[in-house]
Chain A
Amino acid sequence: MQAVSEINEQIKTSSGPNQSESSFDATRIRADFPILKREVQGRPLVYLDNAATSQKPQVVIDAIANYYAADNSNVHRGVHYLSQYATQAYEDARNTIRKFINAADTKEIIYTSGTTAGINLVAASYGRRFIKEGDEIIISTIEHHANIVPWQMLCEQTDARLRVIPVNDNGELLMDEYERMLNPRTKIVAVTYVSNALGTINPVKRIIELAHSVDAVVLIDGAQSAPHLKVDVRELDCDFYVFSGHKVCGPTGIGVLYGKQHLLEAMPPYQGGGDMIATVTFEKTTYNVLPYKFEAGTPNIEGAIGLGVAIDYLESIGLDRIAAYEHELLEYATELIGSIPGVRIIGTAREKASVLSFTVDNVHPHDVGTILDGEGIAVRAGHHCAQPVMQRFNVPATARASFAFYNTKEEIDALAGAIHRVIEVFA
């Protein structure tokens, strides 16, 4: 049985640090991911659905299995050895996450079940405490449903108004329009860093600065940025940053809400239960300190530990190197796929990460997806939980290839070949 510390040792000796800066050895990295060895439909798996979820390296799989095999116990409870050990591993992971996004304090790192839960927590807790009738909440046209619906629900409950930043035909936010929307009634601005449907990287630093000029707080949906961009929450000066573990090579069911401490202190608890209390009597309950105030009930312990290991793994390769390599893949794919007659790329922003959304003339994206699947290629076909984006670009759905650092140009060649096959079938 391995301890987490041994797994960390394993990370240090695996893919990342031994490579030279100039070359990115995807072949070697692929060896860390057991699933990439499997076949689908009798062909090697070409996994291009990373924006939906990323694959897991062996070190993460081992960390989770090892936790249950050797260390399983509840956290923050017992005086016994295992409970203390589990608590330590769980809290160490919190510190790993803190460093990953450069937060000032682990009090600002709240474990959630994922991005969606983080946004709902802020909408429910911050929203109910601070949003009143007539206040305004700004989102953008290119949000995932998870960053639309919680705000709509809040607006319904409080009679606040939801406003939406429009985008141009490339899928870039119209910043002038955004600036005009801001006013003293603006209380929350909630935008994604990277669009899951289009790949657009939003100018979040500028968005945050402008929002702060009218004293609005800003939530950044980091679901798609966490795997691809180095994020420093203090440098961005965002008030809330949320992301999911499963998109950064970690397990599902774990995610992170970062919030500035003074904001989290001012917010009421979201859910009541064990672990979030200091004292309970039938007359009055006092709440636990941060971050536990927002973590009611037994948490996803193996998820947190797995996420910590996943982040260590990513950092061992380096987010900057990952971003550079993925950018190379995206440029290659855009050029290759975009030059196929009949293919239209949806989302042509100047700043993009990882996502290539496209349509094929006269072929529905679901048929594209099925034929690609027949070639062992996994892409997403549909509205990507972003129906307003589909409406904006006047398409019912798109096919979406999304890349990770373990993908290769050969896989993109396979994708291009399969798209040619789609066109043949429907000719």
Chain B
Amino acid sequence: MADLNELYQQVILDHNKKPRNFRALEHPTVTQLGHNPLCGDQLTLYLELDGDVVKDVSFQGSGCAISKASASMMTAAVKGKSRQEVETMFDEFTRMVKGELDPEAEPNHLGRLKIFAGVRQFPARVKCASLSWHTVHAALQETHEPVSTE
């Protein structure tokens, strides 16, 4: 049976209530839209790059607790990281929430983001958790096309 307490952990509830980096950047290198058409979650991600490194990152938008907390923790996690490091975390995070990577058994770079592992028990919520990661991934490609979880 899926455990609700594992989904709505205190850290997640806290980030939902008080999301970090919840603002616009004044001089973003990239502004990327992300959209989950299934539930209507909308996300605008602002990314300031200094060469290869994420100098600053922030987001705005509306969404459920899972998508908001995930976006909040994503911004905290990628700040100061190189493109390659962010791409690695994107890959690991999306595989973790789909249940394809066990963060307790396999080496990874997810750190505190491991608390989203519980999402794998809630297939309907996987896209909520991964929206911000798909958005930052798209931002790094600099395609300037809105990204969708579909």
Contacts and interface: CB of A to CB of B under 8 A. Distances in A.
Interface string B34-58: 0000111110000000000000000
Interface residues of B, number: 22
B103 interface: no
Given A396-B62, A426-B13, A426-B65, A366 B1 contact: no
A367 B39 contact: no
A397 B39 contact: yes
B8 interface: yes
B125 A370 contact: yes
Contacts of A191: none
Nearest to B40: A396
A390 B40 contact: yes
A426 B10 CA distance: 10
Which of B16, B40, B68 has the most A CB atoms < 10 Å from its CB? B40
Contacts of B42: 396
Contacts, number: 49
B65 A364 contact: yes
A382 interface: yes
B1 A41 contact: yes
Given A382-B39, A396-B40, A367 B65 contact: yes
Contacts of A41: 1-2
A425 B122 CA distance: 17
A102 B6 CA distance: 53
Q: Give chain A's interface residue range (CB within 8 Å of chain B).
A: 10 to 19
Nearest to B38: A382
Interface string B116-141: 00000010110010000000000000
A367 B4 contact: no
A383 B37 CA distance: 10
Interface in A361-397: 363-367, 370-371, 374, 381-383, 387, 390, 396-397
A341 interface: no
Contacts of A367: 8, 64-66
A365 B41 CA distance: 11
B40 A374 contact: no
Contacts of A381: 39
Contacts of B1: 41-42
Interface in B48-84: 62-66, 68
Contact of B128 (A366, A387, A425): A366
A359 to B, nearest CB: 12
B147 interface: no
Interface string A386-426: 01001000001100000000000000000000000000011
Nearest to A362: B17
Contacts of B7: 370
A366 B64 contact: yes
Nearest to A366: B64
Contacts of A425: 8, 13
A374 B2 contact: yes
Contacts of B66: 366-367
B59 to A, nearest CB: 16
A366 B62 contact: no
B65 A363 contact: yes
Contacts of B2: 41, 374
Contacts of A382: 38-40
Contact of A364 (B4, B13, B64, B124): B64
Interface of A: 41-42, 363-367, 370-371, 374, 381-383, 387, 390, 396-397, 425-426
10 closest pairs, A vs B, by CB?
A364-B64, A366-B64, A374-B4, A396-B40, A367-B65, A367-B64, A366-B39, A396-B62, A397-B40, A383-B40
29 contacts: A41-B1, A41-B2, A42-B1, A364-B62, A364-B63, A364-B64, A364-B65, A364-B68, A365-B64, A366-B39, A367-B64, A367-B65, A367-B66, A370-B7, A370-B124, A370-B125, A371-B4, A371-B8, A374-B2, A374-B4, A381-B39, A382-B38, A387-B40, A396-B41, A396-B42, A397-B39, A397-B40, A425-B8, A426-B16
Interface of B: 1-2, 4, 7-8, 13, 16, 38-42, 62-66, 68, 122, 124-125, 128
Given A41-B1, A382-B40, 4 more contacts: A367-B65, A396-B63, A426-B16, A426-B65
